[in-house]
Amino acid sequence: MAILETLKGPAEVKSLSLEELTELAGEIRTRIIEVTSQNGGHVGPNLGVVELTLALHRVFESPRDQFVFDVSHQGYVHKLLTGRNGPEFDKLRNGGGVSGFLCRSESEHDSYGAGHAGTALSAALGMAVARDLNAGDEHVVAVLGDAALTCGITMEALNNAASQTKRLVVVLNDNKWSISKNVGAMAKYLNELITNPLYNRIHDDLESILHKIPGGESIIRFGSKAKKEAKDLIVPSCLFEKYGLRYIGPIDGHDLELVTQYLKFCRNFDEPIVLHILTTKGKGYDIALQHPEKFHGTSAFAIATGKGKPPKRGVPPNYQDVFGKAMIRFAKNDPKVVGITGAMSTGTGLNHMREALPEKFFDVGIAEEHAVLFAAGMATKGYKPVAAIYSTFLQRAYDPIIHDVCLQNLPVVFCMDRAGLSPNDGPTHHGLFDLSYLRCVPRAVVMQPKDEDELVDMLWTSLQARSPTFIRYPRGAGQGVPIKKRPARLSIGQAEVLREGEDINLWALGPWVSEALDLAERLKVEEGLSAGVVNARFVKPLDKALLTTQAKSSQLIVTLEDNVVKGGFGSAVLEELNLSGNSVAVHRVGWPDQFVDHGSSVEELRAANGLDTNTVYAGIVEKWRHTQAKSRAFQVK
C-alpha cells in the first residue's frame, strides 16, 4: 500500500527511512499532479517543496512547532502530510475540499493563513516574540520564496528580526521564479550568493567555521557529502548577516537528507538564522519544468501534454486580454502611456505589453505599495501610468492611494482586475472590498464597465482624465460584444439607462447589468411590473441627477454589485438619496458582511450566499410587496 495512504499524521514521517521518504516524495508528487490536473492549482511551487516539507516534518513537531509559509500556495505537501489526503484533497480548491492556501480554520497544523505575499516573516517574528514572552520553547519557522524578498514587508521584518528574538528559523526557498522570472536587485543578489567565487572560496573553509558555531559539529559529522554537493556556506559578509541574522547555504533543496541535517542545525541555533535552499519549480514533472510560468498556477490540464482544456467555441475574450491589447493600442499612440505591474504581468494581461512594448512596461516585483508610488512619481512628470493590480492586492497600497495619488491629485489610472470573485482561490483573493475602500477617498473616480468594450472606453476616458481613476472588472470572459474601432470618451459620472421603468429601477454594476436586464423582463412577465435598468458605470461620482429623477418617478430602487454590501455601491445610492431628501425604498444586492469561502465556481458561491438569480429575484419581489403594503398602510392612515 502506498505510504501516503497509510500516513496518519506528520509524526509518522519521523519514523520513515530515507528510502521510504524518497518513495513518499514520489507519491506526493503524483498525487499533486493528478489532483491539480483536474482542479487546477499551484503545481510548480508545490512540486518544488516536497523534500523541504518532508524535512520540516522530520525535524520539527507540528503543530507544537509552527511553520509559516509565505503566500502559502506551496502548502499542498504540508496538507498531505497533516491528515488531509482524503476526499477533501480530491476536491482541492473546490466546494467541500481543502483550500489552496493554508487556513487557520482548516487544521491545527496551519498555524498561519495567507494568500498575499510577503507576510510570513513578520507573522513568524510576532509568533516567536510571543513565545519568548511566554517563556515557551517551541520553534517557529518561516518559509519564504525568493520573491518574498521583493516585498517591502519582508524587508521591514528582516530589519526588525534580530533585535526582537534569539530564536527564529527562516528558510529561503530560492527557485529564481516569482510567477514570472523574479525581477530586481534582490534576485541578482541571490544569484550572486550562488555563483560568486568568493563565496565558494569560503565554502572550502567551511569546516573551520562550523567548529566555531554552536551545532556546527553536527553538520561536520554529517560528512563531506554535505560540503561537496551543496556548496555549504556561512558568509559573514552577506546581506542577511548585516541585518543581524546568521546565514547558511545555499544548499540543494531537493537533497532530503542534506536539508534535514541543516534544519537540525538551524533548530539548535541560538540566533535567528536563514537557511538558503535551492529548488526547482515543477521538479518531477517535465512539462512544468519547461513552462514554469504557466505551471506556477494553472487551470485543469492533461497530464500527458500539459495542455489545458481547449476553450469552448464562441467563448468571448477575457477582460484581461482586452485590457492588455487596448494598452498596446493606446501606448503606441501616446508616448506618455506606460503600464505597471506588481509581478502579475500574465494575470493582469500586461504581458501583451511586455512582449510588444517592453520599454513601456514595468514589473516592480511583488510590491504594490511601491508600484502605486512609482506610478505617482511618473505622473508628476506628465506620464500616464496605468497600474494593473488585482483588487485584492491593491488593498496593500491603500495609503499611497490616499496620500500619494489622490491627495496629490495625480492622474494615475488603476485597472483593478479580479474585482468580484476569484472562486477557487477564496477569501484571500476575492475582490469584494474595493468599492468600499475607494468610495470614501476624495478625488477618486471609481467605475466598472458592463462589458469588455466599455472597459476600453473607460481606459480611454481615464487616460484623458486629469485626476486619479479606478476601473474595476472581473476575472475571465467578457460579454462577447465587439470592440469598437474608436473608443468612446465617457462623461464622468454619467450612468446609462438601458431600459425605462415606472415601478422599479435596477441600478447595476459590471456583470450584474446583463443580469438586471433579465430580472427586469422576469418582473414584467411574472409580476406585471415595469422595471427599468441602469448601467451605473460610475460609483463615484454617482449620477445624482438620474438617481433623484428616478427616486421621484418610481417606488423602488434596487442596486446590484459584486462588492460587500457594506459601504459599497448600494450604500452610495442610499447616502445620496438621504442627502437629497428622497425616501424611495432601496433594496441592496451584494455580498454579505462575512468572508466568502473558496468554491468551484461563481455560481456555486453566489448560491451559497443568497445571490443566485432566483433568490435575488425573490428578494426584489418581497421588497416590492413590502413597499406596496407600507404605502397602502400609509394611505389608509
Between 177 and 624, CB nearer to ligand TPP? 177
Smallest CA-to-CA distance from 451 within 428, 471, 465 is with 471
* 178 vs 554, beta carbon nearer ligand TPP: 178
Q: What is the DSSP string of 516-547?
A: HHHHHHHHHHHH---EEEEE--EEES--HHHH
Q: Which is nearer to ligand TPP, 194 or 497 (CB)?
A: 194
Looking at residue 181, the DSSP 8-state letter turns out to be B
Q: Could you tell me the smallest distance in angstroms from the CB atom of residue 256 to ligand TPP?
A: 18
Q: How far is the CB of 569 from ligand TPP (least distance, A)?
A: 25
Contacting residue, 37, 66, 74, 351, with ligand TPP by CB under 6 A: 74
Give the interface segment with ligand TPP, choosing from 175-183, 431-439, 509-517, 528-536 (CB under 6 A).
Answer: 175-183
Q: Is 291 or 522 the residue whose CB approaches ligand TPP more closely?
A: 291
**Given 21, 25, 59, 71, the residue binding ligand TPP (CB under 6 A):** 71
Q: CA–CA separation, 280 vs 49, rounded Å?
A: 8
Residue among 45, 75, 113, 468 that touches ligand TPP (CB under 6 A): 45
The answer to whether the Cα torsion of 466, 467, 468, 469 is positive or negative is: negative
Is omega for the bond preceding 592 within 30 degrees of 0, making it cis?
Answer: no
Which amino acid, residue 545?
Answer: A
Amino acid making up residue 56: L
SS3 498: strand
91 residue type, one letter: K
* Residue 282: closest CA among 471, 618, 15, 50: 50
Among 55, 121, 366, 546, binds ligand TPP (CB under 6 A): 366
* Catalytic annotation present for 325: no
Told to check if 175 binds ligand TPP by CB under 6 A, we report yes
> Does the protein bind ligand TPP through residue 73 (CB under 6 A)?
yes
CA 402 and chain centroid, separation: 22
Residue 146 found at the interface with ligand TPP (CB under 6 A): yes
| Contacts (CB under 6 A) with ligand TPP, residues 339-358 | 342-344
Q: Which is nearer to ligand TPP, 121 or 492 (CB)?
A: 121
Q: Considering the rule CB under 6 A, would residue 70 count as an interface residue with ligand TPP? A: yes
The nearer residue to ligand TPP, 324 or 501, going by C-beta atoms, is: 324
396 carries an active-site annotation: yes
Write down the catalytic residue from 84, 396, 472, 540.
Answer: 396
Q: Which residue is nearest to ligand TPP (CB)?
A: 145
State the Cα–Cα distance between residues 459 and 465, nearest whole angstrom.
Answer: 10
| Least CB distance to ligand TPP at residue 366 (A) | 5
In the bound state with ligand TPP, the residue whose beta carbon lies nearer, of 280 and 559, is: 280
Identified binder of ligand TPP from the candidate list 21, 81, 117, 463, rule CB under 6 A? 117
Smallest gap from Cβ 386 to ligand TPP, in A, equals 17
Task: Return the range that interacts with ligand TPP (CB under 6 A); candidates 71-79, 223-231, 548-556, 561-569.
Answer: 71-79
Catalytic residue among 31, 79, 231, 281: 281
Helix axes 18-39, 50-59, angle to 10 degrees: 130
Nearer residue to ligand TPP within complex by CB, 178 or 563: 178
Q: How far is the CB of 405 from ligand TPP (least distance, A)?
A: 18
- Please select the residue that binds ligand TPP; options are 28, 56, 147, 387, rule is CB under 6 A: 147
SS3 66: strand
| Nine cell digits for residue 425 | 482561490
| Residue in the structure block whose three cell numbers are 428578494 | 619
Look at strands 337-341 and 384-390 and give their pairing. Answer: parallel
Decide: helix, strand or coil at residue 237: coil
Piece of 19-27, 169-177, 525-533, 579-587 that binds ligand TPP (CB under 6 A)? 169-177
Q: Which three cell numbers stand for residue 325?
A: 491589447
Q: Confirm if 564 and 591 have CB atoms less than 8 A apart.
A: yes
Residue 363 makes contact with ligand TPP by CB under 6 A: no
Q: Is the Cβ of residue 198 or residue 595 nearer to ligand TPP in the bound state?
A: 595
Using rule CB under 6 A, residue 145 touches ligand TPP: yes
* 177 touches ligand TPP by CB under 6 A: yes
Non-local CB neighbours of 539 within 8 Å, separated by 6+ positions? 435, 439, 446, 447, 448, 509, 568, 569, 572
Is there binding between residue 280 and ligand TPP (CB under 6 A)? no
CB distance 495 to 535 below 8 Å: yes
Length of the chain: 637
Residue with the three cell numbers 425605462: 500
Cell reading at 304: 500527458
Question: Least separation, in Å, of the C-beta of 427 and ligand TPP?
Answer: 13
Give yes or no for a contact between 620 and 586, defined as CB atoms under 8 angstroms apart.
Answer: no
Helix residue ranges, H only, 424-480: 434-439, 452-464
Q: 541: which residues sit within 8 A by CB, 6+ positions away?
A: 445, 492, 493
Number of H helices, E strands in the chain: 29, 17
452 is catalytic: no
Q: Contact between 284 and ligand TPP (CB under 6 A)?
A: no
Pick from 567, 426, 453: which is nearest to 98 by CA? 426
Active-site annotation holder among 51, 368, 561, 604: 368
With CB under 6 A, what is the number of residues at the site for ligand TPP?
Answer: 25
CB of 124 to ligand TPP, least distance (A): 15
CB of 118 to ligand TPP, least distance (A): 6
- Asked if 396 touches ligand TPP (CB under 6 A), the answer is yes
148 near ligand TPP, rule: CB under 6 A: yes
Q: Which residues bind ligand TPP (CB under 6 A)?
A: 45, 70-71, 73-74, 116-117, 145-148, 173, 175, 177-179, 281, 296, 342-344, 366, 368, 393, 396
Give the catalytic positions in this structure.
281, 368, 396
